[in-house]
Amino acid sequence: MSYPFNSNIDPNNAEASVDSNPSVARPQMDASSDVLSSSPHLVIRGETITHDYLEHIDPDTAHIDWLAFTLKYDQLHTTLQYLKIFLQNVFQIPAESWLDTKSGWNGYSKRINIGKSGLLAYGGESQKDSIHIEINGHGCSFVKDWPMLALLGQEEGWKITRVDLAYDDFEGKTANIELAKQWFEDGLFNANGRPPKAKFIDDMGSGEGKTFYIGNRKNGKLLRMYEKGREQGDPNSPWFRVELELKNKGRVVPWEVLVMAGQYLAGSYKALNFISLKQCKLKTIQKASKITYESMTKWVKQAAGKSINVMTEVNGGDVFTVFNQIVRPGIPTRLVDYADHLPTAEVKES
């Protein structure tokens, strides 16, 4: 993988190196890569472009409005100076805009504000030599090559901890607050037949904008649907935004989401299928809890005890017949103390 910087760059003259050193240029991507198999038109925030135009040009009409990820020091072969060059190339963040806050952040001992675009955190024994980068919506709007970043993150094993996928309808026709309410009433946000947690915030006619929330940030998935234009100060604006916040809680966020934003947003809820002709779904990671022999026997008694009792009566009290009817080979994968309950062989003295 070719990095957007290398060790030949003079760390004392980073700004000059960015402009003059050809090795700093963005790497050329392999067109055969799975990540780059399609090249969706990613809408930059603030583009005055209609939804109909976007829908006819490409079905992927969403964009990235927040990106947070972690990486290891050795994955970038880096010093902070080289990291400045990387951020300047990818996110257009000037190296001179870095500001050391002299404070920590979320367990990291050092926090650096990177202009108006976000923050960088590093240091701290519990963080295991990791670097965390948060890029807000302002910073994301300057990215010109999402496929390059997606391929770099995927190949280097960086971890996305948060990504926001946003869809804008500047005319408020395909998405608006009344439609959002109707989608909820129609059960189009339900998961496994159950309605999600929902919250509606009314501006009470002030023109500051209404917001409808679906989900829970603590669970790593929160959908915000709100009157973006009014939030920005125009009380008559029809501009409406659908924005999904995804975190790596119980799920792995793949790097391809950066170039398939609309497909993942459309696949998050049935109500949003209209955003993209194709949909992708994020699979959650089910962490199976461990069970003990004691808890297993209690569960069997509670779940099947009465049924086993009836089977025993039907078979004239012959528990062996009942046993042969219901037992099957194997050991529960979550059982942790199976060996502790096996009978021990008696050692006879000769």
Q: Which residues pair with 132 in a beta bridge?
A: 70, 121
The answer to whether position 51 is within a domain reads yes
Whether residues 139 and 247 share a domain: the answer is: yes
Whether residues 107 and 185 share a domain: the answer is: yes
Whether residues 95 and 19 share a domain: the answer is: yes
Whether residues 164 and 304 share a domain: the answer is: no
Which of 248, 275, 302 is the last residue in one of the domains? Answer: 275
Whether residues 266 and 322 share a domain: the answer is: no
Class of residue 159 by CB neighbours under 10 A (exposed 0-12, middle 13-18, buried 19+) = middle
* CA dihedral of residues 210, 212, 216, 220 (deg, nearest 10): -90
Which of 242, 275, 308 is the last residue in one of the domains? Answer: 275
- Six-digit token string for 96: 């001179």
319-326 vs 293-314: helix axis angle to the nearest 10? 120
The answer to whether position 4 is within a domain reads no
Whether residues 34 and 145 share a domain: the answer is: yes
How many domains in the chain?
A: 2
Q: What is the pLDDT along the chain (350 residues), one digit of tens a residue?
A: 443 433 333 334 433 333 333 323 232 223 233 333 333 333 333 333 333 433 433 444 799 999 999 988 765 555 677 788 889 989 999 888 999 999 999 989 999 999 999 999 998 887 778 899 999 999 999 998 899 899 888 888 899 999 999 999 999 999 999 999 999 999 999 988 889 999 999 999 999 999 999 999 988 999 999 999 999 999 999 999 999 999 998 889 999 999 999 999 999 999 999 999 888 988 776 555 567 888 888 778 877 888 899 999 999 999 999 889 888 887 877 777 666 666 654 434 43
The answer to whether position 78 is within a domain reads yes
Please name which of 140, 136, 118 lies closest in space to residue 43, comparing C-alpha atoms.
Answer: 140
pTM comes to: 0.67
What lies within 8 Å, CB to CB, of 184 at 6+ separation is 195, 198, 212, 214, 271
Whether residues 254 and 223 share a domain: the answer is: yes
Whether residues 220 and 248 share a domain: the answer is: yes
Domain that holds residue 252: 11-275
Whether residues 253 and 309 share a domain: the answer is: no
